Structure 1
């Protein structure tokens, strides 16, 4: 008689922060059979209690220390951006695995301390970039890897979004450098910056500009940005991002590979499933139909977050499975450091008027032979 298979481990989970995005984490963990949600915490005791009641969670707390005292295996960080470091460092010190909302932090030093602390403690640090889990995003990655696109050489990324004044005014921490860490780059376009570096690799140089065109009366950060990004493998990308657009135009990311083939990933309206609206491979171009009946473009943030829940679920499932198997999650803290470095470089470049250089371009992918010499003569 064979022995029964060992029971699947049950992971005790706590949620830090009960703001808007916590719903996505709550639904994602609730969907897993091997997870027990044991507590939530928020500096607003009433909000913590209301969340615990709504989700049938036994403990409503007001501090991360209290949450960690519940002997949790995973803490999910849904607090404002600059507070991520404190939560993660406390979790690491307690030997607790962490799944953190994006951006990982607002300062590079903070993010580096978070990654180092989790490595030293031997716990996993995952960061939420659920758009990588779209089937369309995965198909582009596969097409790069299997040679259909080949090495990505060019990319154009457009993040043209609408945010009304109440988006910034409803939460006091939004729209300030100290509390939000930045504007459209930090809070919205970081997702697409993550995809860019996932597809094109390590960054060599960033040159960018930021400005505030529409929301300047109530925010101190940028509502618009542009950048030219060069990668160590020789690829080049352009980025434009804004929350000053009405109606909302959504998001488009087009990748061209060394085979000459191209693919375009579109999120329109914002929050909808990303789709391949253009697949230009070989002798055929496949174009996804648009919305002939029209759409409601200026979607409320709660609706945007709600439509992303299926992909939050996939990433949360991946994170829990990585703990079961003893492997790294699909998106680690080190991965999240890359997108943070890029967007912070846009701010630095805009401030100084100079490009920010990280690393040289691989000599095999340098500019056309002799081009640099001709540029010197022309200058």
Structure 2
């Protein structure tokens, strides 16, 4: 891994691209860390960049990525709308600067591959924000897989039932369109939990999926709801249901059952709160706590969600900074993030074609429905 010579002898110089809402999380995270300092912010709106710099006591405010890179940076944090990530990452890599990018890494696989290849070629690290991996509870579930308590994951389920109102889509013009957002609930919200699912369950073999817009059709042209069946190369299976049309919201539950028969459930309610292990069933005992505490307000606005995630942004950004100091890869790399992107894009593709998307072959011994059974099922009348 390339580390700029200056970074080995002094505090890392950090620039932030994009001064929208999520930039606050990056600014707070870096402010709370030793070994890194934000020296510049960048936004296409110069007034917003200047206001951010003044609010956070940052020395430089600029309106272009080249101007930001000219400040002699070691790290760039990317906080811009999804489809613009690629351009910022490619410019940063060409300048020999490490990149920490908000999720999703990109909105299509070709862009994601170009980004990871550029960073590999330049010898710089590309990290992507999936801060929920840093919940202590998420780490606890991963540990139960690693130490054999759950065994090999065989069944998974992800439920993402969130609330968004029209104001959420109206507050930023880029939200809710294929062109500027890249997708709906899958791309913007559920990707966090797809990341956790594949972290727990491993390499994907096949994806079936469907999408629809049940509630927000007057305000968006992307999906507000999606469902999928995901099969893994191990033979494991998982289901996914995601929506921003729930009212009230029910938050997120991720349930993993392993080959030992044990089950763990990870819950986030209300959205943005710390994940909790709300169920652990093993050795004939079920230990549980409410997934939906009665005293918690279910519907939470975006600023509250983002503020609650600051400690986990800080944990992941600390991991990134410490990885650079060790000349090592961060916990979540660009290639890791590309895996999650590929899964959700496969849901879109399966929804478009009505056919499953195959990633990799199933291992020997995994039962797969023969083609004649599949054909007979497809030929059945819609009603009986």
The TM-score normalised by the length of structure 1 is: 0.95
Distance 2:193 2:306 in 1: 16
Structure 2 CA distance for partners of 1:182 and 1:322, relative to 1, 3 Å: same
Q: CA deviation at 1:294?
A: 2.7
RMSD over aligned CA atoms reads 1.7
Task: Give the match for residue 5 of structure 2.
Answer: none
Structure 2 CA distance for partners of 1:54 and 1:273, relative to 1, 3 Å: same
Structure 2 CA distance for partners of 1:353 and 1:285, relative to 1, 3 Å: same
Task: Give the match for residue 3 of structure 1.
Answer: none
Unpaired segments ≥5 residues, structure 1: 1-6
Task: Give the match for residue 75 of structure 1.
Answer: 76
Task: Give the match for residue 307 of structure 1.
Answer: 308
Unpaired segments ≥5 residues, structure 2: 1-7, 378-384
Give 1:183-194 correspondences, 5 Å limit: 183-194=184-195
Task: Give the match for residue 92 of structure 1.
Answer: 93
Q: Deviations over 1:229-288 (max 9, x none)?
A: 001111100000000111011000000001100000000011000000001111211112
Structure 2 CA distance for partners of 1:79 and 1:374, relative to 1, 3 Å: closer
Distance 1:378 1:85 in 2: 44
- What SS does the corresponding residue of 1:363 show, helix, strand or coil? coil
Task: Give the match for residue 136 of structure 2.
Answer: 135
Q: Does 1:48 align with 2:66?
A: no
Q: Does 1:337 align with 2:338?
A: yes
Task: Give the match for residue 120 of structure 1.
Answer: 121
- What SS does the corresponding residue of 2:96 show, helix, strand or coil? coil
Distance 1:132 1:190 in 2: 12
Task: Give the match for residue 226 of structure 1.
Answer: 227
Task: Give the match for residue 4 of structure 1.
Answer: none
Task: Give the match for residue 154 of structure 1.
Answer: 155
Q: CA deviation at 1:292?
A: 5.4
Q: CA deviation at 1:377?
A: 10
Q: CA deviation at 1:8?
A: 5.9
Q: Deviations over 1:145-178 (max 9, x none)?
A: 1100011000010000000101101111000000
Structure 2 CA distance for partners of 1:239 and 1:290, relative to 1, 3 Å: closer
The TM-score normalised by the length of structure 2 is: 0.94
Q: Deviations over 1:9-50 (max 9, x none)?
A: 310000000000001100111111211211000011111011
Give 1:1-379 correspondences, 5 Å limit: 9-289=10-290, 293-364=294-365, 366-367=366-367, 372=370, 375=373
Distance 1:110 1:127 in 2: 14
Structure 2 CA distance for partners of 1:170 and 1:262, relative to 1, 3 Å: same
Distance 1:83 1:204 in 2: 30
Distance 1:311 1:93 in 2: 29
Structure 2 CA distance for partners of 1:376 and 1:68, relative to 1, 3 Å: closer
Q: CA deviation at 1:375?
A: 3.7
Q: CA deviation at 1:372?
A: 4.0
Distance 1:373 1:177 in 2: 34
Q: Is the 8 A contact 2:269 2:291 kept in 1?
A: no
Distance 1:208 1:264 in 2: 23
- What SS does the corresponding residue of 2:156 show, helix, strand or coil? strand
Count of residue pairs the alignment pairs up: 371
Q: Is the 8 A contact 1:204 1:358 kept in 2?
A: yes
Distance 1:91 1:172 in 2: 26
Distance 2:292 2:336 in 1: 35
Distance 1:210 1:124 in 2: 34
Structure 1 outlier segments of 4+, above 6 Å: none
Q: CA deviation at 1:99?
A: 0.2
Structure 2 CA distance for partners of 1:126 and 1:360, relative to 1, 3 Å: same
Distance 2:309 2:9 in 1: 28
Structure 2 CA distance for partners of 1:375 and 1:10, relative to 1, 3 Å: same
Q: Deviations over 1:163-216 (max 9, x none)?
A: 010110111100000000000000000000001110111110000000001100
